[in-house]
Structure 1
């Protein structure tokens, strides 16, 4: 993630742009990593532009980079196209242009292959070059999903948590489940349809990426640990460790501090004060 200070990066995003990226990705059947990559590109470009001086020409026009910054339709479509290339999920430019046009112009007819279409297509190609430069040619985006779920598997293997029902059965039979049995149950529970904790963690990670401040100023392990801890605390799970022990166990190798995890959780809870409902479908899986 970027090293921008939290004072420079807003917590609340442009939600219309985020919604466009989510809905368009669904229409184009894009994997979650492609959509999330496009979202991070969008955040990074906006932060980059917010630190640039605006150049207004004598005739009142602005340069191409500023024009892209002020054109949400073109910018979001460009982010999506670049994310498709970066994650090796090819989609036709025509499809990207058409879904973008339909989203931003719902009352208009389908965009025909005419001068307007080719003008938009040409703008998209030019804008992609501007976006790549603004991103410093750094297109590799690491995401917290896999890290979060790998820690969740580890939590199960060391009996970090156990459901109330399993604990009652354990007491009745005067024994604790074997490590192998716990591991098998965890592997089974990793199916998003079956695991409440995994689904909650997935939702929290997705929503954290909606926020420019969380996505750009916190580390990947910090986001993963913070979202998983919040999922554990908001589900019907009995915690057997303090937060300090949790972070020491799973964040030590990444030099993650307890305060760093607290900061992620605090920012996410503040984000929910503005948007109490998750904006992403947690049925999606990392591909």
Structure 2
């Protein structure tokens, strides 16, 4: 029996473009997931909340077309939501400042002006959208367990 390639959403080889290269949508998700991981590290998040943020992001875009919403806004909302789910709460201001520094290296933190408040509002509204799209199923059993120095290994 011949193996059939599947992505995590069950779309088969749709994630592959011509000549075996990833489709543009897959490249977008790769870049945004890398952003989630880098931002999570800069925010001081542990591995499990970062993995939860990536999972929330991917599950959201399994339900919604990537062109419908800004993937980076969904990523910031995923980080914010994952912090809540995994009991490592983050301030939206910290997420905004880390994201701003990611997109504009060397820049100063954003002023608390209308642009900042609009961005903060967008993150919170997007968090509610993500929750509705995922039917509030945002707690996951990850396929691996990370052991730390203070964890007792069975």
The 3 A distance-change label for structure 1 pair 106 and 131 is same
Aligned to 1:279: none
Aligned to 1:48: 63
Aligned to 1:141: 140
Find 1:28's aligned residue among 43, 58, 62.
Answer: 43
The 3 A distance-change label for structure 1 pair 115 and 42 is same
Cα offset, 1:8, TM superposition: 7.7
Aligned to 1:121: 120
Cα offset, 1:4, TM superposition: 4.4
| Runs of 5+ unmatched residues, structure 1 | 55-65, 150-189, 193-284
Question: Given the two structures, how large is their TM-score scaled by the length of structure 1?
Answer: 0.42
Aligned to 2:99: 100
CA RMSD of aligned residues (A): 2.7
Cα offset, 1:42, TM superposition: 0.9
For the pair shown, which has the larger CA radius of gyration, 1 or 2? 1
Q: Which has the higher contact order (CA 8 A, sep 6+)?
A: 1
How far apart are the structure 2 equivalents of 1:9 and 1:86?
31
The 3 A distance-change label for structure 1 pair 9 and 40 is farther
Matched pairs, number: 133
Cα offset, 1:84, TM superposition: 0.4
| Runs of 5+ unmatched residues, structure 2 | 1-7, 17-21
Cα offset, 1:109, TM superposition: 3.5
Cα offset, 1:191, TM superposition: 7.8
Contact 1:9–1:47, Cα closer than 8 Å, also in 2: no
